[in-house]
């Protein structure tokens, strides 16, 4: 791994992006944050620009131009579903490893990024959730699915989250399906029964008061099992972002889910 990998954070003024910028600055002995990408630099106040410049972080709104200058090792992709795929392809084609926390990638998108990652010989990490507790929740749910064949997911997020179901819920459904795939929960084909992903009903709530929460509920004769994870503050995601940023320098392929790295 090169000395202090050089980092760009895309989506730098979003809630996750701001926390990531602060985290990399606080870990400047391990990483060098060189730029922060946002959509519209013209609407950013001079005070915000000065605050970042004083700490050695360029604010930019042209990711491609920055990548073309070279010298960047990792792109932290924390934007929105409408830009995450193109930004990640751009990074790989520029010789930069993407750590993708934004959701909205389809199976076809992931397959294309996987092929491009292999072609370039560069690591790519797609992390539906960076919280270590959430990763453990998904792993425990996958184990439970081997023994209990009725299950549903309820995921709850802040009202500003732009996608539903969440990437974490979809990834959990895939892990459950990979370990069982025989869900016998009755399906009436009605919207109120949840949206099916990998044969698992997912129910999405978007309300004030939540950051992120997910329950995986299993049912069996005479019993239920609930595996739940609650994110109280976005700081819970930061150790996972640092872990991904370290591990990606050792990879030459795409990894989908931090559970494959811990």
Q: Which residues contact 251 (CB under 8 A, 6 or more apart)?
A: 97, 122, 123, 124, 125
Same structural domain for residues 75 and 183? no
Burial class (CB in 10 A: 0-12, 13-18, 19+), 155: buried
Q: What is the CATH number of the domain that holds 222?
A: 3.30.360.10
Give the chain's domain count: 2
Q: Do residues 113 and 88 lie in contact, with contact meaning Cβ atoms separated by under 8 Å?
A: yes
Asked if the structure places residue 91 within a domain, the reply is yes
Task: Please determine, for residue 225, whether its predicted confidence score (pLDDT) is greater than 90.
Answer: yes
Contact 132/90 with Cβ under 8 angstroms? no
Same domain for 100 and 219, yes or no, is no
Joined together, the tokens standing for residue 3 give 């000395």
Q: Domain check: are 15 and 114 in the same one?
A: yes
More confident residue, 244 or 107: 244
The single residue of 52, 157, 171, 229 carrying the catalytic annotation is 157
Catalytic residue among 58, 89, 139, 161: 161
Span 162-185, pLDDT tens digits: 889 999 999 999 999 999 878 877
If you compute the radius of gyration of the chain from its CA atoms, what whole number of angstroms results?
19
Considering the domain architecture, whether residues 76 and 150 belong to the same structural domain is answered as: no
CB 40 within 8 A of CB 61: yes
Write b or e for each residue in 91-115: b if 16 or more Cβ atoms lie within 10 A of its Cβ, otherwise e.
Answer: bbebebbbbbbbbbbeeebbebbbe
Structure confidence at residue 236 (pLDDT): 93
- Give a yes or no: residue 1 inside a domain: no
Residue 13 sits in the same domain as residue 140: no
pLDDT for 180 equals 86
- 241: domain CATH number is 3.40.50.720
Give the pLDDT band (50/70/90) at residue 10.
very high
Band (189; pLDDT cuts 50, 70, 90): low
For the residues of 67-117, what is the DSSP string, one character each?
A: HHT----EEEE-S-TTTHHHHHHHHHHTT-EEEE------HHHHHHHHHHH
Name the residue range of residue 82's domain.
6-126+235-260
Do 73 and 162 sit in the same domain of this protein? no
* pLDDT (tens digit per residue) in 29-78: 999 999 999 887 778 888 888 888 888 888 988 999 999 998 999 999 99
Q: What is the pTM of this model?
A: 0.82
Active site residue 161: yes
For residue 183, being part of any structural domain is answered with yes
């Amino acid at each position: 791994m090169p000395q202090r990998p050089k980092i760009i954070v895309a989506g730098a003024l979003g809630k996750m992006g701001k926390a990531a910028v602060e985290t990399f600055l606080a870990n400047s002995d391990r990483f060098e944050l060189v730029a922060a990408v946002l959509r519209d630099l013209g609407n950013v106040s001079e005070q915000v620009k000065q605050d970042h410049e004083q700490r050695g972080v360029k604010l930019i709104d042209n990711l491609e131009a920055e990548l073309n200058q070279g010298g960047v090792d990792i792109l932290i992709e924390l934007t929105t579903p409408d830009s995450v795929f193109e930004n990640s392809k751009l990074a790989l084609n520029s010789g930069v490893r993407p750590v993708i926390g934004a959701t909205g990638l389809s199976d076809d998108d992931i397959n294309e990024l996987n092929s491009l990652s292999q072609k370039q010989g560069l690591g790519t990490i797609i992390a539906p959730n960076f919280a270590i507790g959430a990763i453990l929740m998904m792993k425990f749910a996958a184990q439970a699915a081997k023994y209990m064949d009725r299950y549903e997911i309820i995921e709850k997020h802040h009202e500003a989250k732009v996608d539903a179901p969440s990437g974490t819920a979809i990834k959990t459904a895939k892990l459950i399906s990979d370990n069982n795939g025989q869900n016998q929960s009755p399906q009436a084909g009605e919207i109120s029964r949840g949206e099916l992903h990998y044969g698992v009903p997912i129910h999405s709530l978007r309300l004030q008061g939540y950051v992120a929460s997910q329950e995986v509920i299993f049912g069996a004769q005479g019993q239920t099992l609930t595996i739940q994870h609650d994110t109280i503050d976005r700081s819970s995601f930061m150790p996972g972002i640092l872990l991904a940023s370290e591990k990606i320098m050792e990879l030459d392929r795409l990894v989908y889910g931090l559970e494959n790295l811990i």
